[in-house]
Structure formats: structure tokens, C-alpha cells
Chains A and B, each alone.
Chain A
Amino acid sequence: MTPIELEEQDATGVDRGPVLEARDLRVWYGTDRGPVRAVDGVSFELRRGEILGLVGESGCGKSTLGRGLLGLLPDGAARDGELRFQGRDMLALKPREQHALRGRDLGMIFQEPLTRLNPLMRISEHFSETLRTHDKSISKAEIERRSLDVLRVMGIPPTRFRAYPHEFSGGMRQRLMIALTLVMRPAFVVADEPTTALDVLVEAQIIRILHDLRREYDTSLLLITHNLGIIAEACDRVAVMYAGEIVEIGEAREVFSRPRHPYTRELLRSTISLRTTGLNYIEGAPPDLVDPPPACRFHPRCPDAMNVCAQRHPVDRDHGAGTRAACWAADVAQGLVKLDDREAAPLPRGEISVADEA
């Protein structure tokens, strides 16, 4: 939690401190209607070789956070707060230094692999372009060796090295994208909905590949998805995002079996799985991030809301077993805070009509 951990090393001298550390990170966009606070005061860290899942509804800011971490934001967007990568202050870097880090130390895997591959270039050319961008003097033999190595790990036979993107199936293209990202051996990769466009059997193959990455590459991964099942299977820890904030973060197992935040609980309940015996859903819709509700942003939709939830912003607190959550109701349940009767009384709720649903 403290910057001291950055210097922590284990007996072998390997750095075990966080690879990535965000403190009160904010990202906002300017629009005609005012600034959109897409990421609003987010703090977390990512250890070496760890997979952190980032989950939330569309529009909660999870993709913006992923791009913000890599500095891949469009014009008109700004970042603030603290972001450290391997101890370096990312927000103080010049654009050129950031650019140099991307691809080499920081990677990104997108949802639609076909739109990220040049249809006129062979796979071999994609690899040599990627490798040459960061190392002008790299030899042809070295390019081939490193490319074939990473392709093999991805399960792509060497016979396909000189093929064109269109000669590959959807799942193979996503493997190619992952291979192109990993050939530089980045320390941190953001994967934004990497399997959404794929079928369930192929999705399972890709999830397995991502899950096994650390064996070969020691890469830390931020896996952005709306699918809680993928998080449960592939991630070590999970961060739940709502309206630009991380409302709960912890070990995936712990968060899934004992969710502290009502939003996490309701999200789990509304997911249709093979064990679903009744349909549940969250009333209302996520708020407009230009003008989010005051205090706790979830309070208008929250079944556990108390008076305090509409008045004071909840505090990010340690809830034990490695979980942190920002929720008054969870604080009371855990005995972390004492509220007076007026504050603890259930919030009188206006009817949320279908008219406001997502």
C-alpha cells in the first residue's frame, strides 16, 4: 500500500513490488455538456504475473481506465492523480517517452483482432514491424526465432508464419494479436474484452491462454470484461467498477463468495448462468457521468440504501480477507462504522420506472 513496497525484494533479489500502482487516478473527457468523469479517483495495484479482472456495466468507465493506464486516450481527455509503472511516474513522462514504453513494456489486446491487423501484410511482416520499431538493429534470424517462439506458445503452427490475416479464423486472429503483443515481453498488458467477439469454445481456449501467460512471460494482466464467469475462471483478483469508481476490489474467490458491496452482489445475482433458477435484475440504469448522483453513486438503485448513502460519499475501507469496498451498508454490516438512527434509516426511494433502465 505504501511506496516503500516498491523497494521490497524477496530473498532471490527479484522485485516483488507492484508492477503498476494507481492512486486516486482520474480520467475525464470534455464534452458539450461538460466534463465526463469516466474514471473518478481510482486506486489499485497490480503485482507481477497477476491477473486483475475489471468488471462493470457498459459506460462504467472500465475501458477508459484500461486505455488511461496506457496513455491511449483521445484528444480532449486528461489524466490526473498518481500512476506508477515499475516505480516510474507515468503522468510525468513526455509523450515521446510514453510512446516508447508502449508496445515494449506496456501492451494492449483489443476486442476485434481483424481491425488491428493489416490485411496487406503477412504475419511475418507484422512481427518484424513490431520488433523493429523498438530495436532497429535486430536481425532477420532473431525476428524469426522470437516470432516462431511466441506463435508456438499461442498454438499457431510455424507453417502459418507467412500467411495473411484473412487466412486465419477468428480465434486464430486473436491468438495472433496476443502473440504480437507478447513478442516484446511487456511487463503489463491490458486486454479489453478480448473474447467478446468469439464463440464459447474458442473463448474458453483464449481464456486458458491468458490464464497461462504468466508461466512463460511473467506478464501482469488487466482483463476488462463484462462477463463475471470469465473473471471467476481466469483472474486472481477482481475490481468492480460503477460510475467511474472502483466500488469493491479483492481476491476473486472471496469477492464472488462473499461480495461486500450491494452492487457486486446484485451484478452476480443478475448474471444468467447454468444455475439460474429465477431472473433477477438491477433496477434503473447507470448514471450519466456528466452529472452523477451525489454521495454514493449507486444509492438510487441500491436495495440496501440508507439515508447516509445519499448524503456522504462512502469511504474505501478494508473489509478483511484482502477485500476493500466503499459502501456504508457494508461498513455497518462489518461493524466498521457506527451511524446514528437517522443516518441508518432506509432511504425513502422514488419509484424507479422501466423508463430509466439501461
Chain B
Amino acid sequence: MPTKPEPVLDIRDLVVHFQLQGGALSRLLGLGVRTVKAVDGVNLTLARGEVLGVVGESGSGKTTLGRALLGLVATTDGEVVYHDRERGERRVSHMRGRELRQLRTDLQMVFQDPHAALNPSMTIEEAVGHPLVIHGIAKGDELRRRVGEALERVGLAPVERFLSKYPSDLSGGQKQRAVIARAIILDPEVLVADEPVSMLDMSVRAKILQLMLDLKTDLGLTYVYITHDLASAKYFCDRIAIMYLGRVVEVGPTEEVFANPRHPYTKALLKAIPEPDPERMVPRDLPRGEIPDAAVPPLGCSFHPRCPEATSICGWESRDLRALIEEHWTRGSAETYARERDLVGDLEHLDRPDTRPRVGAGGALEVRGLLAEMRAEDPDEPLWLGVDAIDDDGDGVRVSFHPGEDPQLRAAGDVDVACVLYP
């Protein structure tokens, strides 16, 4: 963009936490109130007219972030500011009731599942015109005219064929077009689209994305495109923010993020996408495990337990040690497991995050020997970089890890990255 980008939405230190209640007994005892940090300190600016991609796996907080942009979830801390052309700065994160409803004329959402987003007992005419009725903007002939216009814009033409149809009469692609028609009928500025094509067939996805691009040009829209699909984000977005466990780990211009991925997580995602290329083989050097529990995130960098490039200061701790021991047992025989299980003893206590965990029940020397054997099995395992010392402790050992660092987003070239490799 030649001119300085004009912000339309500012996300500042946004935090969204959810309380998990736990069972009746734990509530009675005052235990078990766990907090899931769905969005944990996100800063992003959406420029007018751009397409910002928010990419992440399920559990990364991308959907919660999208909902927070529209005030659909309560923010725990931080703020979302909408730069209204007429009324100036408005704090979405602090709006309630009528004011929030009024905001819908400016910020709209397209949901993932078009089958669930439409009321099955409303005709397409009623559903698409509903926002105009709710906001008291149009009725009668005017309502009919505007519904027809919106349907035509999204390609549901001839309009007469669709007005009296019910969602169940429509195909998936047609339904998503109707959902988009409903989203644009109030003439909004920003559209937050949460996985708008992931429920659709491959042959239709491109059509809906093309429609969204056409609408953006024709109506001057700004998009937040939330997805787990890096390939469509690459084609569709101007900028991309990669999220992992509630944080943005890398953000920058799409071209740069794809040409030169910096965060190990971004690199892994790019490598993992199954490409329809007959020369490609099954990728083998991919991160192990899955996205961790957001209620008790890993110490240090949240990605370190899966990171192939982790260093000594990434936050190694007791849970990583447990995972390593269990992984070791998936390689040995049942007899080895039986013997070593008694040697190692109980592993449950390792689930409490601890940088100086104690492990072992069958003699310090033997446990030390087992750890050495595990290290020899896979010398490149990054966990060993994090081990500061192994000291004898009764009939086991105490493993001391280097203190971890929680990396913040920092500029690296044209992008921002949260990784200790880019200090």
C-alpha cells in the first residue's frame, strides 16, 4: 500500500480467559476451578481494506479471538478498538447491549458451518433480510428490494428461485452464499470469516473464496480470515498471523511468512500440509504430540515440547520428562517396560509443572543409567539441552532444568516472531 495503512481495528493486549467449573465435588471443596487462557495477550492491527489471516490449529484461540473482535465474548483484559469513520474510536471490548447490537451494522461475521448458521424454519428471504428487520432499517418493498440486491451480489440468481426456499433445499455452497448475503446486507465495514470454506467440497471452496474477493473489491470490505488451512490463507490474505495456544507466534506479510518462515511452528505447519504433488513423500520430521492443555500451558514457550529446534532455555520441565520416558517405552519390549516401570516408579507427580523434578524408585545409579540409555537412544532430543544437572536424591535422581524464557513477539526482518531464536 502506498499510503500509510489506516487502522480499522486495534487489538491491544487482548486476554480472554474462560473458567472451567469442574465437578460438583471439586466445587464443594473449592478445588478445580481451572482457567483456560483462550487468548493470552494478543496485539494486532487490522488495516482498512486488507485481508488479515489468523491461522492456527484447533485450540489455538483463533475462533475466540475472532469472536472477541465482534464483542461476542467478554474480554478479560486489554481492549479491541474500532476506528469508526463517523464516530471515531469505539471500544468494542467494553460495549454492552444496544451499543453492541448497533455495532453489527459495521462488523459482521460469517460462520464455518452454513448448515447451522441458518435457521431451518426461515426462508432465505426472511433469513437474509432479518438483520434489516432487527435494526428497523427497512420493511415492505424496500426490504424485498435490498434482499434481492444482496442475493444477486452473492450470485444466488435468479433471485426468485431462492427467495422462498428453505436452507434444507440448498447445497452447502449455496447456503454459505446466503450466509454471506446476510452478513453484507447491513453494508458493514469489516467481515470476520471463521473457516468460511472448510465445510465445503474442494470444487466449491475456490468459488466461495472468489466471491469473497469480488465482494471485497465491490463493497470496500476489510476481512479477518480465520482458518487452519495455510494454503487458502496463502492465496487469500495480505497479512498472516500464526496463533499457537492463545498467542500470536509469527505475524507479517503473507509473502514473507511463506517464503521465509521463521518460527519453528510455522515451518512445521508448512511442511505438514498434504500437497497434491506426486513427488512428495510422507513428511517424517514433524513435531510430535498435540496442542497442549490451555489451562496448564507448558512453561516457557508453549511450543517447546513439540519444537524440533528447541534450545536449552525454552522452558523444559517435569511434564517433558514424563513424555520422554513414556515415548521411550513405546520403543522397547513389554519386558523392558515392566522392569523399567519399577525402576522409575510413579510418574503422576510429574504432571505438576516443576523445573527440578525428582524421579525414580529403584536406586539412583540405576535411574541415572536409564536416563543415559534414553539419551543414547536419541542424542538429538532437544530436552537434553535443557538439563542443567542430574543429582542423586535417595533411591532416585533430581533433574534440574535450565530456567525457561517466555518469548515475546519481536521484529525479525519484515515480520514479528515470538521465539528465542530471534532475540
Distance to closest chain B CB from A204 (angstroms): 4
CB-defined contacts of A158 to chain B, threshold 8 Å:
329-330, 334, 337
CB-defined contacts of A303 to chain B, threshold 8 Å:
none
B270 touches A274 (CB 8 A): yes
CA distance A170 to B289 in the complex (A): 11
CB-defined contacts of A73 to chain B, threshold 8 Å:
none
A200 touches B272 (CB 8 A): yes
| A7-23 near B? 1/0 per residue, CB < 8 Å | 00000000000000000
A337 at interface by CB-CB < 8 Å? no
| B210-241 near A? 1/0 per residue, CB < 8 Å | 10000000000000000011111011000000
The listed residue (B157, B202, B205, B229) touching A353 by CB distance below 8 A is: B157
A279 touches B206 (CB 8 A): yes
B282 touches A276 (CB 8 A): no
B201 at interface by CB-CB < 8 Å? yes
Please name the residue on chain B nearest to A153 by beta carbon.
Answer: B330
A282 at interface by CB-CB < 8 Å? yes
CB-defined contacts of A234 to chain B, threshold 8 Å:
282
A232 touches B275 (CB 8 A): yes
Among B93-101, B169-177, B363-371, B407-415, the stretch that binds chain A is B169-177
B330 touches A156 (CB 8 A): yes
B387 at interface by CB-CB < 8 Å? no
Those of B266-318 within 8 Å (CB) of chain A: 268-270, 272-284, 286-288, 290-291, 306
B207 at interface by CB-CB < 8 Å? yes
Whether A232 touches B278, Cβ cut-off 8 Å, given contacts A157-B330, A200-B269, A281-B203, is: yes
CA distance A271 to B273 in the complex (A): 13
CB-defined contacts of A252 to chain B, threshold 8 Å:
278
CA distance A211 to B117 in the complex (A): 37
Among A76-84, A96-104, A222-230, the stretch that binds chain B is A222-230
Whether A354 touches B202, Cβ cut-off 8 Å, given contacts A232-B280, A274-B273, A276-B234, is: no
A145 touches B276 (CB 8 A): no
CA distance A156 to B205 in the complex (A): 36
B209 at interface by CB-CB < 8 Å? yes
A199 at interface by CB-CB < 8 Å? yes
A232 touches B203 (CB 8 A): no
| A163-190 near B? 1/0 per residue, CB < 8 Å | 0000001111000000000000000000
A253 at interface by CB-CB < 8 Å? yes
B275 touches A273 (CB 8 A): yes
B274 touches A203 (CB 8 A): yes
B391 at interface by CB-CB < 8 Å? no
Interface hub of B206, B286, B329 (most chain A Cβ within 10 A): B206
B206 touches A280 (CB 8 A): yes
B161 at interface by CB-CB < 8 Å? yes
B379 at interface by CB-CB < 8 Å? no
| B321-333 near A? 1/0 per residue, CB < 8 Å | 0000011011100
B203 touches A57 (CB 8 A): yes
CB-defined contacts of B235 to chain A, threshold 8 Å:
272, 276-277, 279
A281 touches B206 (CB 8 A): yes
CB-defined contacts of B284 to chain A, threshold 8 Å:
208
A58 at interface by CB-CB < 8 Å? yes
CB-defined contacts of A338 to chain B, threshold 8 Å:
none
Interface hub of A57, A170, A266, A273 (most chain B Cβ within 10 A): A273
B57 at interface by CB-CB < 8 Å? yes
B274 touches A232 (CB 8 A): yes
B36 at interface by CB-CB < 8 Å? no
A267 at interface by CB-CB < 8 Å? yes
Whether A57 touches B201, Cβ cut-off 8 Å, given contacts A256-B277, A274-B234, is: yes
A133 at interface by CB-CB < 8 Å? no
B158 at interface by CB-CB < 8 Å? yes
Bin the interface of chain B by size.
35 or more
CB-defined contacts of B102 to chain A, threshold 8 Å:
none
A46 at interface by CB-CB < 8 Å? no
CB-defined contacts of A267 to chain B, threshold 8 Å:
202-203
A118 at interface by CB-CB < 8 Å? no
CA distance A355 to B276 in the complex (A): 29
CB-defined contacts of A151 to chain B, threshold 8 Å:
330
A357 at interface by CB-CB < 8 Å? yes
B326 touches A157 (CB 8 A): yes
B204 at interface by CB-CB < 8 Å? yes
CA distance A203 to B287 in the complex (A): 12
CB-defined contacts of B161 to chain A, threshold 8 Å:
355
| A190-223 near B? 1/0 per residue, CB < 8 Å | 0000000001111111011001000000000000
Distance to closest chain A CB from B410 (angstroms): 24
CB-defined contacts of A205 to chain B, threshold 8 Å:
286, 288
Whether A281 touches B204, Cβ cut-off 8 Å, given contacts A171-B290, A199-B58, is: yes
B290 touches A169 (CB 8 A): yes
CB-defined contacts of B230 to chain A, threshold 8 Å:
200, 274
B156 at interface by CB-CB < 8 Å? yes
B274 touches A201 (CB 8 A): no
A6 at interface by CB-CB < 8 Å? no
CB-defined contacts of A275 to chain B, threshold 8 Å:
275, 277
B272 touches A272 (CB 8 A): no
Distance to closest chain A CB from B403 (angstroms): 28
CA distance A107 to B331 in the complex (A): 25
A228 touches B290 (CB 8 A): no
B5 at interface by CB-CB < 8 Å? no
B258 at interface by CB-CB < 8 Å? yes
A226 touches B282 (CB 8 A): no
CB-defined contacts of A231 to chain B, threshold 8 Å:
276
Distance to closest chain B CB from A67 (angstroms): 20
A152 at interface by CB-CB < 8 Å? yes
B74 at interface by CB-CB < 8 Å? no
Distance to closest chain B CB from A257 (angstroms): 5
B282 touches A233 (CB 8 A): yes
A268 at interface by CB-CB < 8 Å? yes
The listed residue (A157, A171, A229, A353) touching B273 by CB distance below 8 A is: A229
The listed residue (B173, B174, B202, B326) touching A270 by CB distance below 8 A is: B202
The listed residue (A145, A274, A354) touching B275 by CB distance below 8 A is: A274
Distance to closest chain A CB from B218 (angstroms): 16
CA distance A74 to B202 in the complex (A): 28
Q: What are some 26 contacts across the A-B interface (CB < 8 A)?
A: A144-B334, A148-B337, A152-B331, A157-B326, A159-B326, A171-B290, A201-B269, A204-B283, A208-B284, A211-B282, A226-B201, A227-B202, A229-B274, A232-B280, A267-B202, A271-B276, A272-B235, A274-B231, A281-B204, A285-B171, A354-B177, A354-B207, A355-B162, A357-B171, A358-B172, A358-B173
**Interface contacts beyond A157-B329, A202-B290: sample of 17 additional A-B pairs, CB < 8 Å, sorted by A:** A144-B334, A145-B334, A171-B290, A200-B272, A204-B274, A226-B201, A226-B202, A232-B275, A234-B282, A257-B278, A267-B203, A272-B202, A272-B232, A281-B207, A355-B161, A355-B174, A357-B204
